[in-house]
Structure 1
């Protein structure tokens, strides 16, 4: 008599476990989140690939999980220490330090400590922030920097575009003066095209007059 019992593929079960694992990461620090998330995703991928090629899904999950844990933890090893250091160095300055979805360290510098209206001269209160940032790059010659200058919507693009670029250039020049190679730094201006607030009030315009500094690792070459 034929059996109606159907063999259940382990992949959906592992996917559910991976999702539960990721959901449980809320109370972990960045290092633990990277490892747990990478392991969960790696386990699912390993199980699916192993099953599809005739191998053991369980063995594939173990191998995939181990590799995923290493991959998911790359941010932690290279960037987490710098994120924490910059958070400490910028306390009380208004600078926002975050990790971007693509694993870049981002410093968003508000206008009140960066540049005066219509000026590309670095304000004195920004200098200690840039000093701490430059110090964190000492001995880390593989890390790359991208500086993006922004303005509010006051004035025309003919004024705002070059002003935002000059602001980014000023930050780049400051870092170069502190022995950071210019070959590692990209400086661009976005004018008023990427606002983070409306330009309807003086307060919102001030939020849009900002500089963003990104730190990232170079892409791995195969």
Structure 2
């Protein structure tokens, strides 16, 4: 029990390690450290649970080492992928948003992706998507989900169909540039889940968007 408590404390300490965010200049908890800490704690508990009473301490330690390696691996993998996406997409208008430890969201506003009421990608957006493909080709263990959204103008049914076609257009382009189709899915959400007020032109423009959600797999 004493060993288990020690391992858990070490895991919690690891998860609290602070790093400097290179994009905001703010201190934050490293996703690698967080993953290591969570993995170590979970592994220790599981290792102790499946071990005999005599070997419970050893089981906890082994579980912590394995769990910490897996958790830290995901965090490190996604940290590096996020950094390269930010570098490639700087000044493109695409917002890179980290979602928890194992996911990244790319928010692509409608003004750079599609013409109004169209599902045809604008040619000037191709280089931006090519930059995304470049990173996703390197980080080939990531799964990709493309989500389309519209503003509230028009009927609900029309917006739903338009959002689906837009998401499919982006997903189809990614496949056409060499990403495996088995890694990619696409969905349309129409006017649901707005990120701004549809009562203003600026808000409607923000809601017309495509998001690429990237989830790490180890």
> What TM-score, normalized by structure 2, do the two folds share?
0.78
Whose radius of gyration is greater, 1 or 2?
A: 1
Q: Equivalent residues in 2 for 1:131-142 (5 A)?
A: 131-138=130-137
Alignment partner, residue 60 of structure 1: 59
Alignment partner, residue 34 of structure 1: 35
Distance 1:206 1:21, change over 3 A: same
> Deviations along 1:146-204, whole A, 9 cap, x unmatched?
11100011111121011111111221222233122334321221101122233222222
Q: Alignment partner of 1:74: what SS? A: helix
Q: Indicate conservation of the 8 Å contact 1:100/1:106, yes or no.
A: yes
Alignment partner, residue 23 of structure 1: 16
Matched, 1:181 2:180: yes
> What TM-score, normalized by structure 1, do the two folds share?
0.77
Give the whole-Å Cα distance in 1 for the aligned partners of 2:142 and 2:116: 31
Q: Indicate conservation of the 8 Å contact 1:147/1:185, yes or no.
A: yes
> Deviations along 1:70-92, whole A, 9 cap, x unmatched?
12023245433322111111112
Alignment partner, residue 84 of structure 2: 85
Greater Cα shift, 27-36 or 83-92: 27-36
Which structure carries more strand by proportion? 2
Greater Cα shift, 16-25 or 69-78: 16-25
Alignment partner, residue 4 of structure 1: none
Distance 1:32 1:15, change over 3 A: closer
Q: Equivalent residues in 2 for 1:1-222 (5 A)?
A: 15=8, 18-25=11-18, 27-46=28-47, 48-49=48-49, 53-76=52-75, 78-101=77-100, 103-138=102-137, 143-217=142-216
> Deviations along 1:10-45, whole A, 9 cap, x unmatched?
766765664454334565533333223322443344
Q: Alignment partner of 1:200: what SS? A: coil
List gaps (5 residues or longer) in structure 1. Answer: 1-7
Q: Indicate conservation of the 8 Å contact 1:113/1:124, yes or no.
A: no
List gaps (5 residues or longer) in structure 2. Answer: 20-27
Give the whole-Å Cα distance in 2 for the aligned partners of 1:13 and 1:30: 22
Q: Alignment partner of 2:16: what SS? A: helix
Q: Alignment partner of 1:106: what SS? A: strand
Distance 1:68 1:116, change over 3 A: same
**Superposition RMSD on alpha carbons, in Å?**
3.0
